[in-house]
Amino acid sequence: MTYYRGVSMRIIVVILACLHILDVSAQQVADPGFPSNGRGAPLVPAIPGSQRTPAELLEAYPPAELENYPEQYWMVGPFRIGTLGAGGVGMGMIHATALDGSVPEGIEPLPVDLFTSNDFYADRELWSDPRYFRCNSSEAIQAQWSGLLIGDDPPASAAWGYCDRDYPRAAMVSPYSFANAMDHYNVLMEEAKYRGGPTQHTYATVPSDWNGRYVWPRGQNWYAELFWSQVPTVLSLMTEEYQTRFVQEAYHHGNTNVAQWPAQFCWPEGFMRRFHYHGVTNQPHQVLVTPELVQLLAGDANNFITNIHVGREFNMEGLVPRLGADVPQWYGETIGFWDEEVLITWTSNIQGWKVHGGMEFSSKLQVIEIYTANRNPEGEIYGLNHEAVFYDPEALVEPIRIVRNLEKQSSLLEGAPYQFIECVQSIFNLEGQPTPAAPGETINVVVPDIYGRPWAENWKRFHEQEMKKPDEEEDIFSFE
């Protein structure tokens, strides 16, 4: 069932136009051109998208109905689509199965769910049931309040999503057999050596036409906003502790309405935020290629920088492989090599952090990334296919994979230069609530421990006083 409120005919026409423009054949993994054990495995199902998206559609909130795409994989919802309001949330057509506290036809609600519970810790045995989250995606949970879907008696009147939709777990996990990033990287290196590599580029041979500015369309992959997935499916990727952290965040988005987004407080964004749509879309990625160093710059509320040190090797004496001091870095440290025109990288020494609305990750996270040029028949580059595999034995029960296509918008000689962002804090946690403070105003602020999950400490101190998190939780349910 879909509800409509405040929808103009113009909005409907725009949505229908988007459906016809959408190229559902895209979002595939780049074919290496030879049998590989570590890259190019097919992505099934591939989320529809375009490798060359019209500029006016880059920010479009993806429609629920995608031509020639099975309905079971449509957006989980609930959500609004059409005219964009605050935070990029659609303010027109509502896609939901039930609103204002009602229950979808044919669905038996649970006795308690995320929006009625007083203690989500006590509900752990219900987390594997999509009904506990009212069949909301995690994106939809955090948009319940800002998207005006929460109803007249919040949070109990929150809207329901579509319980029969979900992106399959098998398309999220890595298709490769490696237990860690080192083994994955070494196999890719051996494949390159077998074919005469790794390629030692000079300034005369390095693919300098990679230099430029790149964007990627909203909704292009499963991870970017997690709005294709039921929450229990995402939870099934995580270890028990990180399941708890994920549900804790969902609860304080959907129930208490106390979001703790790092950019609100000028906290670091963290490594995984550059794979989240809203972290890197207000200006293009800037890619700069040299034979010894490839640099990626991106930024929205904060800056993201990846320096790929071509040809270097990690120091293996420490907690994790590293280049510099044995201290985690916010965006890690990255080495790489060229296999002809394909750039293969390994990032390690990453500071554990979070992505709001998404999964937390630990300081054991390591990532293998493969960048392949997308070229037209004339050989002109129009984008980069980006395949990334994530290894985090503390947070993940098995490695996961994200595939996306970065679309080239211009060379470095065109367009506005990269704007380095300085974050000036104007919102502070006052008595547990994110609160704006004006210049000259005197406020009483508890200085957070940045390395101690400051978001969770705020929730526990002010919003979980009556909850009882077990010191040692038994594994009382499984997603297997």
The pLDDT of residue 87 is above 80: no
- At residue 16, the pLDDT reads 36
The pLDDT of residue 20 is above 80: no
What tens digit of pLDDT does each residue of 199-251 get?
Answer: 999 999 999 999 999 998 888 899 989 999 999 999 999 999 999 999 999 99
- At residue 461, the pLDDT reads 94
How far apart CA 465 and CA 173 sit, in angstroms, is 36
The pLDDT of residue 5 is above 50: no
- At residue 371, the pLDDT reads 98
Could you tell me the pLDDT band of residue 55, with boundaries at 50, 70 and 90? Answer: confident
- At residue 17, the pLDDT reads 41
Entry pTM: 0.91
What tens digit of pLDDT does each residue of 415-465 get?
Answer: 889 999 999 999 999 999 999 999 999 999 999 999 999 999 999 999 999
How far apart CA 337 and CA 292 sit, in angstroms, is 9
- At residue 112, the pLDDT reads 98
Higher pLDDT, 305 or 278: 305
Could you tell me the pLDDT band of residue 476, with boundaries at 50, 70 and 90? Answer: very low
- At residue 280, the pLDDT reads 86
Higher pLDDT, 59 or 135: 135
Q: Which of 18-22, 77-81, 445-449 has the highest mean pLDDT?
A: 445-449
**What is the mean pLDDT of the segment spanning 176-197?**
97
Residue range 171-219+262-410 forms a domain whose CATH class is: mainly beta
- Token pair belonging to 381: 């580059």
Q: Domain spans of the chain?
A: 9-167, 171-219+262-410
The pLDDT of residue 333 is above 70: yes
Residues 18-46 as b or e (16 or more Cβ within 10 Å = b): beeebeeebbbbbebeeebebbbbebebb
What percent of the chain shows pLDDT beyond 70?
Answer: 90
Neighbours of 185 (CB within 10 A): 23
Report helix angle 138-146 to 240-254, nearest 10.
Answer: 20
CA 258, chain centre distance (Å): 20
The pLDDT of residue 82 is above 70: no
**What is the mean pLDDT of the segment spanning 177-189?**
98
The pLDDT of residue 66 is above 70: yes
- At residue 308, the pLDDT reads 98
The pLDDT of residue 120 is above 90: yes
**What is the mean pLDDT of the segment spanning 97-121?**
97
List all residues 6 or more positions away from 390 whose beta carbon is below 8 Å from its beta carbon: 174, 361, 365, 366, 367, 396, 399, 400, 401, 402
**What is the mean pLDDT of the segment spanning 459-474?**
81
- At residue 122, the pLDDT reads 97
**What is the mean pLDDT of the segment spanning 6-20?**
38
**What is the mean pLDDT of the segment spanning 32-55?**
89
Lowest-confidence region among 73-82, 97-106, 148-157? 73-82
